[in-house]
Amino acid sequence: MLTLSNVTVRLGGRTILDSATASLPPRGRIGLIGRNGAGKSTLMKVIAGTLDPDSGGVEMPKSARLGYVAQEAPSGQGTPFETVLAADIERAALMAEEEAGVTDLHRLAEIHERLIAIDAYTAAARASRILVGLGFDEAAQHRPLDSYSGGWRMRVALAALLFSQPDLLLLDEPSNHLDLEATMWLESFLKTYRATIVVISHERDLLNNVVDYILHLEQGKITLYPGGYDDFERQRAERLAQLASAREAQAAQRAKLQDYVARNSARASTAKQAQSRQKALAKMQPIAEAVTDPTLVFNFPSPPPLKPPLVQLDHAAVGYDGRAILEQIDLRLDPDDRLALLGRNGNGKTTLARLLSGQLPPMEGSKHAPGKLRVGYFTQYQVEELDTDDTPLEHMSRLMKGSNPSQVRAQLGRFGFSGPMAEQKVGKMSGGEKARLALALITRDAPHLLILDEPTNHLDVDTREALVQALNDYEGAVVVVSHDRHMIEASADRLVLVDAGRATEFAGSLDDYTDSVLGKGPASPEGSKARGSGNKKDDRKAAAAAREATANLRKTIAALEAENTRLTARIAELDRTLADPSTANASDRHRPTKDLLRLRGEAEKALAASEAKWLAASEELEAAKAA
């Protein structure tokens, strides 16, 4: 059992954690979530013992071994394989003692017995499996750490932590330095991890498939919810509906008391009663209003029409310094395409994206694109290169020369930078806000094609969902590279596998690709051609019709999910009113019981119908994917 008792942390004069209290179940898998800047990493550091709280504390079994990835990546001439093996400190110490030549036979027997108990003799194979899962092949495992970038060395740190098998595994955004394939492997690994896990993550699939509890951090407080992320969203919607109902009831009661005090304070006969009600008013604690974030905004401007294709690659090759990275690329992009590039880091996804964007010319073959084609290309480099001393308004004004101030502010407003937010220094902005600004900058001229290379880094779950919805509403074409499986599933309907020097359409679904990565099925990109008619024009028309049908189904499913949440909250609200009329909202307060029962029956009937529609639409979507 891990217990957080009244943990309070103040940093820079601001209260980050305010008497945060929760009891986490033993061997539980807990997803720690909250908006960017809420204090998740601060809470993780308190649990890890690297930050002392101002008050309160953390209790856990004294014998528990805690594992937490340090902020600095390992470096030096040691190899990833050596670094991972050394992470099991007990094994390393016992092996060193054995190799030193123990003469005491009793002690030697103890060493061998303990090495067997901790499975030390299979350690090399386990270390190699973990490294392979995180993207290091046999040769890469034995290269010096200093030959790798910081991101790859952070993968080594993660591998070492997983190998050490602590009793309490603390992970702070573990997929930040991973590609989609390594993220899939990590998710599979964590599903079978037999100890307590606390993971900060914005990956919706990981939070649904791995964790069995959600610890939500908001306004310095923490609340534990059973289930995965989808369960949390449903429970939070119900809780917010309850708060809204209670707040309405309190407002009505407050108005009634204030009216009584105003009418009766001056009368001697009722002065005491008025004073009593005045005291009741003073003691009445306001019920907090649900927190809303006006900056959760993405709104991509729609481009002017352009005849297809936007981009046509025929037998193209692309690379650097005369050396081809990808060859024989045949790919067509139309105005309504939604494409995701799959493949491990280093296989050429970014190279292909740069070819599509026009940053790299084809070395062989041909590339055709209309002269009026406008491309918006997002990368993390653009986020890092923002001038920290300038404001969003200054950045946008420089790029939109000739535009009047209202047009500049309108583009910023599409991405949540309205009013004073447009005039704050970039250096004071969060990583998510900087990413949002970069997206605003690259879409200022309403591009026909958006190419997004890992756009979800630094974005929390709610912001990622807002981005997905904006992409689905966007009328241009989209090419996305992402390790966020939910984003790919929700915003892409064509998959291109970049592997072994080729870029080929992947015929299966993302689930099929997941199975292939985890060794559960073949990763053949072929098949889509075999199912085609043989006529490219007809096939493109059929594919476009299928994409449109799928997009409509997705929107229908999302709308039905929202309706199910609303109706569930309404039923809960009516149940509370029937149990205690004093909690009724303004519209239900004076309704007779029979009307409340009728309304509840209607809501229940509507929920059943909505759920049936949702199920039918979900089955239709699955059938469309399989077709």
Q: Is 589 a member of any domain?
A: no
Same domain, residue pair 431 and 350:
yes
Q: Is 478 a member of any domain?
A: yes
Would you tell me how many other CB atoms lie within 10 Å of the CB of residue 305?
8
Mean pLDDT confidence for 139-155: 89
- pLDDT score recorded for residue 551: 65
Give the pLDDT confidence of 421-435 residue by residue, as tens digits: 899 999 988 888 899
Same domain, residue pair 151 and 176:
no
CA dist., res. 515 & res. 489, Å (int): 15
Report phi then psi at 415, rounded to 5.
Answer: -120, 25
Same domain, residue pair 382 and 520:
yes
Same domain, residue pair 396 and 535:
yes
Same domain, residue pair 431 and 332:
yes
- pLDDT score recorded for residue 260: 76
Lowest mean pLDDT among 116-125, 237-246, 439-448, 451-460: 237-246
Burial class (CB in 10 A: 0-12, 13-18, 19+), 556: middle
- pLDDT score recorded for residue 614: 80
Mean pLDDT confidence for 348-366: 94
- Asked whether residue 539 carries a pLDDT value surpassing 60, the answer given is no
Same domain, residue pair 34 and 100:
no
> Can you give the pTM of this predicted structure?
0.70
Burial class (CB in 10 A: 0-12, 13-18, 19+), 170: buried
- pLDDT score recorded for residue 156: 92
- Asked whether residue 226 carries a pLDDT value surpassing 80, the answer given is yes
User: Predicted confidence band at 149 (pLDDT cuts at 50, 70, 90)?
Assistant: confident
- pLDDT score recorded for residue 251: 75
Give the pLDDT confidence of 432-466 residue by residue, as tens digits: 889 999 999 999 999 999 999 999 888 888 888 88
User: Predicted confidence band at 81 (pLDDT cuts at 50, 70, 90)?
Assistant: very high
CA distances from 393 to 386, 387, 409 (A): 12, 12, 7
Same domain, residue pair 260 and 402:
no
- pLDDT score recorded for residue 345: 86
Give the pLDDT confidence of 258-283 residue by residue, as tens digits: 887 888 877 776 776 777 767 766 76
Same domain, residue pair 1 and 124:
no
User: Predicted confidence band at 533 (pLDDT cuts at 50, 70, 90)?
Assistant: very low
Q: Is 332 a member of any domain?
A: yes
Beta pairing, strands 502-505 & 338-342: unpaired
- pLDDT score recorded for residue 26: 86
Burial class (CB in 10 A: 0-12, 13-18, 19+), 348: buried
Q: What is the DSSP letter of 138?
A: T
User: Predicted confidence band at 285 (pLDDT cuts at 50, 70, 90)?
Assistant: low
- Asked whether residue 575 carries a pLDDT value surpassing 90, the answer given is no
Residues 6+ apart with CB under 8 A from 178: 134, 135, 155, 186, 483
- If one compares 517 and 294, the residue with the highest pLDDT of the two is 517
- Asked whether residue 547 carries a pLDDT value surpassing 70, the answer given is no
Give yes or no for a contact between 76 and 55, defined as CB atoms under 8 angstroms apart.
no
Among 165, 191, 214, residue at a domain's last position: 165
Mean pLDDT confidence for 221-241: 85
Same domain, residue pair 75 and 203:
no
Same domain, residue pair 152 and 196:
no
Amino acid of residue 455: P
Lowest mean pLDDT among 76-90, 394-408, 486-500, 567-581: 567-581
Q: Is 216 a member of any domain?
A: yes
Give Cα 343 to chain centroid, integer Å. Answer: 20
CATH number at residue 211: 3.40.50.300
How many folded domains does the chain comprise? 4
For residue 439, how many C-alpha atoms fall within 13 Å in the half-sphere facing its CB?
A: 30
Same domain, residue pair 336 and 262:
no
Among 553, 570, 601, residue at a domain's last position: 553
- pLDDT score recorded for residue 546: 60
Mean pLDDT confidence for 123-140: 90
CA dist., res. 375 & res. 385, Å (int): 19
Mean pLDDT confidence for 338-355: 93
Element containing residue 16 per DSSP (H, E): strand 14-24
Q: Is 12 a member of any domain?
A: yes
Give the pLDDT confidence of 462-496 residue by residue, as tens digits: 888 888 888 888 889 999 999 998 889 888 888 99
| C-alpha gyration radius of the chain | 29
Among 271, 287, 303, residue at a domain's last position: 287
Give the pLDDT confidence of 389-403 residue by residue, as tens digits: 999 999 999 999 989
Give Cα 474 to chain centroid, integer Å. Answer: 20
Domain that holds residue 97: 71-165
Mean pLDDT confidence for 359-366: 94
Amino acid of residue 426: V
- pLDDT score recorded for residue 290: 46
Q: Is 278 a member of any domain?
A: yes
Q: Is 577 a member of any domain?
A: no
Same domain, residue pair 360 and 399:
yes
For residue 573, how many C-alpha atoms fall within 13 Å in the half-sphere facing its CB?
A: 27
Q: Is 404 a member of any domain?
A: yes
